[in-house]
Structure 1
């Protein structure tokens, strides 16, 4: 049916829990007027909401040690032309750690034909890298990205290392000439837009929703802190990098709980 939309996510290992997936499912269904089929690609479905459609993790048919390296299981694996028996259908992907703060119907309505859409990356801000927190495509149009990785994993990891979203972006540009970006006003970065940009101010000023973005739909939590940490005001620092506490600090943001459940 035309009015049924497809949302997908991927979970493997222990970084994210079933509860995290259930929260994403709740945010998606609360913030859309469409009927949504919500898919989770995972090797462990224990604890998932019974309304979530569970699918096996995509398989990368390549050198064993490169099958699960970094996030290529996501940015390459999900490009499978027969992903979840959804060939020919448009899917909307969300990272599990997003926080949805507004109606997302426009994310289903905006795409044209079989074009690929992605967020303009907050770190690079240009036209050559997409932020893979949320992107949309028609299953069956990106299989070449998975196939190229499977045949050339060493070359790709040597070039991009763990920047798998840069690999994804480069292959889309290579074939289609450009990336199609969602409107900037729909997405923001928690670190760059909700927290003070000047690091030392983060010791005194609490994060908040950006007041100049009334059409905001999704907050990206790329890197750290994650939503659960941001609520408590925790930003984990790697051992031996205590000096980074000058700017890697955040005050609690309990308002996140109003959306993330």
Structure 2
């Protein structure tokens, strides 16, 4: 018996199960991420999924995007985004109506690295579940992480209504959009099984002093490596902690901790060393 659900008219709605289309969505606005991030995401998906699938990119510019990517305009955002709070609040555009994209969708951040098969992200749990990653920074809080999450389109629309009433107040209270989603999603949220997602800085990079001698690794069983913060795949390939950093040989990086060339505290400087990561360069391609 198929798990695909039928709507009120009897039409089958995509949920990515039993041969229905696996729908993946991403969002790109502004200039922080170029089209190569979307194109490489599409390439990684294609190599790690059982078809049929389709990647939808909601964006303000389709310049340079691969023709196989389904481009859609950014959904209407008829409220002012918070200006003094951390978090990627423009993602709230995706909580409501997505035009012709209906059914179950898997959202992926543009800066993830796919390291395993994605099929389980569609077959896990119930199609009506809202499923997030578990944020490793706040294990006792059980806050979700929205680099990789699954939802039924429209289920999170009530969150838009709450947010629209006073975006800055909501952002001030919850600090991050992922905490807002975790606390307010209708019916609550569930989490991906432990080990499916790996946080690059926390789970892949060796602890000091091994980070000076060993390359970051992919933990066994990982399907997707996420890159929260300022360290992105291009930085990992070059062996730098963020765009403002520069890769140095191990001894020179340690010397910089003492001779005034460090940009942060001594403790952070010596921990924030990264050797160039060969598997990121190998996997992050079209």
Q: TM-score with structure 2 length normalisation?
A: 0.81
String of CA shifts for 1:92-144, please: whole Å, max 9, x gaps.
Answer: 00000000011111111113031101111111124631111100010121101
- What is the CA RMSD across the aligned residues, in angstroms? 2.1
- Given the alignment of the two structures, is residue 138 of structure 1 paired with residue 162 of structure 2, yes or no? no
Distance 1:157 1:218 in 2: 28
SS in 2 for 1:84: coil
Distance 1:103 1:242 in 2: 40
Distance 1:46 1:228 in 2: 20
SS in 2 for 1:185: coil
For the 8 Å contact 1:34–1:105, the answer to whether it is kept is no
String of CA shifts for 1:136-171, please: whole Å, max 9, x gaps.
Answer: 01012110111111112121122233x111111111
For the 8 Å contact 1:60–1:150, the answer to whether it is kept is no
SS in 2 for 1:255: helix
For the 8 Å contact 1:128–1:170, the answer to whether it is kept is no
Distance 2:81 2:141 in 1: 33
Name the counterpart of 1:116. Answer: 130
String of CA shifts for 1:197-253, please: whole Å, max 9, x gaps.
Answer: x3333222221122xx2x321011111321111011111368942633211111111
Evaluate the alpha carbon distance shift between residue 5 and residue 127 of structure 1 in structure 2; reply closer, same or farther with a 3 A threshold. farther
SS in 1 for 2:99: helix
Q: TM-score with structure 1 length normalisation?
A: 0.88
Evaluate the alpha carbon distance shift between residue 123 and residue 249 of structure 1 in structure 2; reply closer, same or farther with a 3 A threshold. same
Distance 1:184 1:65 in 2: 32
SS in 2 for 1:26: helix
Q: CA deviation at 1:34?
A: 2.0
SS in 1 for 2:67: coil
- Given the alignment of the two structures, is residue 100 of structure 1 paired with residue 106 of structure 2, yes or no? no
For the 8 Å contact 1:8–1:94, the answer to whether it is kept is yes
- Bigger helix fraction: 1
Name the counterpart of 1:169. Answer: 182
Which of 191, 201, 208 aligns to 1:199? It is 208
Name the counterpart of 1:50. Answer: 67
Can you give the 5+ residue segments of structure 2 that lack an aligned partner in the other structure?
1-13, 246-261
Name the counterpart of 1:241. Answer: 264
Name the counterpart of 2:191. Answer: 181
